[in-house]
Structure 1
């Protein structure tokens, strides 16, 4: 039996369901992965372009060499451009600005050092070597343009220590700690090299340990303000990494590197660069995070004790969707292409 409709209804167009496919994101087809050196644990990464990326690592064999790899053909081939004499070192951060590349080795005393190359990694000089046994450098970041940069050490004399350069990394100077808040048993995690990041003229420190905070400097590292991130602190827990689309909009991720890791509330975000909203949970540890474009779309990843995966946010960190069961220690995106690197020499491109 036909159903008689009112005249107005018969003349109005019928609304059809929206069948337009959702706008794709970089992980619709998951990561494309390859192994460069199964003896390496990669925790440093710089995505220079769609074609070029650098990764840095440490040997899984005691006393083995730390390495630097570079690709300029979209990851099809990778070249070992490591400095000489890196046995026993741990490369955790790499920063590339134009033709100048810097690699940070972490560790106590002289193990902490910064290598510098101006020729694509063909040759290296040691621009800085730590001489203070109490210092342990974790992360490094440069301001836009690469003229000025900072590195951070775990607390020395009760405060995080800041190292600075204003000549493109040729020389480095330890800054006064007068403007740094006290930081007993608080530190930056060298999980991905992104516990120290910059955005415009601002620099941010993501910390964990006895306190889980975000510290901000607007004067090139001389003075810092601090606020709790909302990510739970602990002996091996807190914020591990941060990313900022601007000095006002950022995301911090973290978790717990303990024997029984706790993952709840391991994400926080800010809309003003000074106050943070927490209580957000990934389904995996958050070792690193990066924006893909704008301030809404970002990706977080992690790989620790079975807590492995990659997740995507479309609203600046407020909500997350798991997009891959592959996880890495570090991720970086440029021009809508994302690169990642992690355990057992793995690199990914999405």
Structure 2
């Protein structure tokens, strides 16, 4: 049974595509941020690119450049990719051709090379590659195994090597790998993956698989809520409980790492988004996890803001919305805005976020 994103259950799939509940930015809500970086003293500056798009993929390339990817809120509609190079004043539609019915949930940009991941069962899972700012695209990978369903992807360092993760196939999460900057992809052997039946990554924000240095991390939910770590480019993995409650629609949704030792995971339960207890966890050694402070909203995504102490989490689902800041590595959180999104990414103190009905925010 699939989860978040598109196919956990038909009812949940519909809910995930609905517009967010109305929310109001509260620029001065956090007084605990006075001693550190806070991009939200003036709140989110929001624009709507395409009200028919549900954005869940985002890459903040610089203070001036960002990419967002989505899926149509209309059945069979076109999935879009947008790019800005002028701080969000204008956005160009750089979508691949023939994207009707697809769901672009992740985008990764390294130098001149961009990749977008379409998720779904069988051939709905694809990776597109561009080397010219989205002017043209090639299909670098199309899944042909009906049992596989790819959720997230991530690249190491300068983008030469990368991974993508699928829901379990024959009881284990499946790992796809590239070592030529995404030109070609191959499935890695499964012998180094622990048993992960009914455990999966949530395609909430494209950050259920992330890298830091030479380490990769998968954040899971479902039957178990864990963080899996690999230090050999995805060949072997070790799983550790995250402390975020597991469930059919619950667990860790996204992770962010300042280093292989310092990371934060956020999550919740999409079937009970208003219950925000035990929605975060953090690590100081990259291997053991401690429950962090509770958010006041569902945690769909998290990003490091500066060093390992400062990070931002956001979410917007079923009326549970907001953006929160930690200044102690995830031990405590303060909500800095009642406005939330599905995905967030920062460069220095410039932050970008994106969500339902084509909304994009810059803070």
Unaligned runs of 5+ in 2: 1-33
**Aligned-residue RMSD, C-alpha:** 0.9
Match of 1:15 in 2: none
Q: Distance in 2 between matches of 1:200 and 1:24?
A: 24
The answer (yes or no) to whether the contact 1:230–1:279 under 8 Å persists in 2 is: no
Deviation at 1:336, TM superposition (A): 1.3
Could you give the per-residue CA deviations for residues 229-264 of structure 1, whole angstroms, max 9, x where no partner exists? 000000000000000000000000000111565321
Q: Distance in 1 between matches of 2:157 and 2:354?
A: 24
Relative contact order (C-alpha < 8 Å, sep 6+): which is higher?
2
1:182 pairs with 2:201: no
- Of 220, 234, 251, the residue aligned with 1:238 is 251
Q: Distance in 1 between matches of 2:232 and 2:56?
A: 28
The answer (yes or no) to whether the contact 1:238–1:255 under 8 Å persists in 2 is: yes
Q: So what's the TM-score if we normalise by structure 1?
A: 0.93
Within 5 A, what are the aligned runs for 1:185-264? 185-258=198-271, 262-264=275-277
Match of 1:92 in 2: 105
Q: Give 3-state SS (helix, strand or coil) of 1:344's partner.
A: helix
- The number of residues matched between the two structures is 330
- Of 266, 281, 296, the residue aligned with 2:294 is 281
The answer (yes or no) to whether the contact 2:324–2:336 under 8 Å persists in 1 is: yes
Match of 1:9 in 2: none
The answer (yes or no) to whether the contact 1:109–1:132 under 8 Å persists in 2 is: yes
Q: Give 3-state SS (helix, strand or coil) of 1:280's partner.
A: coil
Distance 1:145 1:127, change over 3 A: same
Q: Give 3-state SS (helix, strand or coil) of 2:119's partner.
A: strand
Q: So what's the TM-score if we normalise by structure 2?
A: 0.90
Q: Give 3-state SS (helix, strand or coil) of 1:121's partner.
A: coil
Distance 1:202 1:61, change over 3 A: same
- Of 26, 43, 51, the residue aligned with 2:56 is 43
Match of 2:285 in 1: 272
Q: Give 3-state SS (helix, strand or coil) of 1:26's partner.
A: coil
Computing the radius of gyration from Cα coordinates, the structure with the larger value is 1
1:162 pairs with 2:175: yes
Q: Distance in 2 between matches of 1:125 and 1:169?
A: 11
The answer (yes or no) to whether the contact 1:231–1:279 under 8 Å persists in 2 is: no
Q: After superposing the two structures, state which structure 1 stretch, 322-331 or 253-262, moved more.
A: 253-262
Q: Distance in 1 between matches of 2:303 and 2:99?
A: 29
Within 5 A, what are the aligned runs for 1:99-114? 99-114=112-127
Q: Distance in 2 between matches of 1:24 and 1:215?
A: 30
Q: Distance in 2 between matches of 1:63 and 1:177?
A: 34
Match of 1:311 in 2: 324
Q: Distance in 2 between matches of 1:139 and 1:53?
A: 18
Distance 1:157 1:75, change over 3 A: same
Q: After superposing the two structures, state which structure 1 stretch, 273-282 or 194-203, moved more.
A: 273-282
